[in-house]
Structure 1
């Protein structure tokens, strides 16, 4: 049985680098930056590192109910979710993740759309 991407990458340290680049791209996006204006980015990056790690087969830290509760007041649109997904995929590709690994992570990310999108 193949090791999960989380383990093949080497754990939290490399995943944290992926998340840092991802959020750099998000902050550069005119359409997405507004969602993060009043957010303490260090704290968010810590949480998102754990979340992205869970999408890669690492230790899970959020259940579906928690994801929904956290995102509901943010009024995230379908387009914003799609834009985030595009940036995440681009970031994974920047880190030379295999097409199969990218597809797996993106499937897990998109599977949570209904928990995150609350227009």
Structure 2
């Protein structure tokens, strides 16, 4: 089974675990390279999204600079860093976008590639995905 498929199964399994994915850890923030590492990770993620014909249409008419800032804040906060997420909640941000499960999975793929490109360990990748997984129901199908 390839790693991408395995991580998709992991993400789906984590969605079934109530409350488990909300644990914070300073070590994850450090494992992602701190604020600078997270900002680079998000930049690479956004470049991957722009190159992905499956999902780039969702990002065509948005302020990419603001998206970069808010995603960086969100990941930093979730990872236990010193940041505070100041963006809209996920439901408000995604209502009317028509994000499908396939779109969500494509974004996860883009994030995994960005994490690989930035030398993020598989363990840290899985911990970050576990923190992001509960957002699935707040993003898909709205």
Provide the TM-score with structure 1 as the length reference. 0.86
**Aligned partners of 2:110, 2:78: CA distance in 1, in Å?**
15
Moved segments of 4+, more than 6 Å: none
- Alignment correspondent of 2:22: none
Tell whether the 8 Å contact from 1:22 to 1:88 is kept in structure 2 after alignment: yes
Provide Cα deviations, 1:32-74, integer angstroms capped at 9, x if missing partner.
11001101111111111111223322234169x8111111121
- Alignment correspondent of 2:68: 45
Runs of 5+ in structure 2 lacking a partner?
1-24
**Aligned partners of 1:91, 1:9: CA distance in 2, in Å?**
11
- Alignment correspondent of 2:58: 35
- Alignment correspondent of 2:78: 55
Secondary structure of the structure 1 residue equivalent to 2:65: helix
CA gap 1:104/1:9 in 2 versus in 1, 3 angstroms: closer
Provide the TM-score with structure 2 as the length reference. 0.73
Q: Which structure's relative contact order is higher, taking Cα pairs within 8 Å and 6+ residues apart?
A: 2
Matches within 5 A, 1:61-80: 61=85, 66-80=89-103
**Aligned partners of 2:139, 2:32: CA distance in 1, in Å?**
26
The number of aligned residues is 117
**Aligned partners of 2:98, 2:112: CA distance in 1, in Å?**
22
Matches within 5 A, 1:1-119: 3-58=26-81, 59-61=83-85, 66-118=89-141
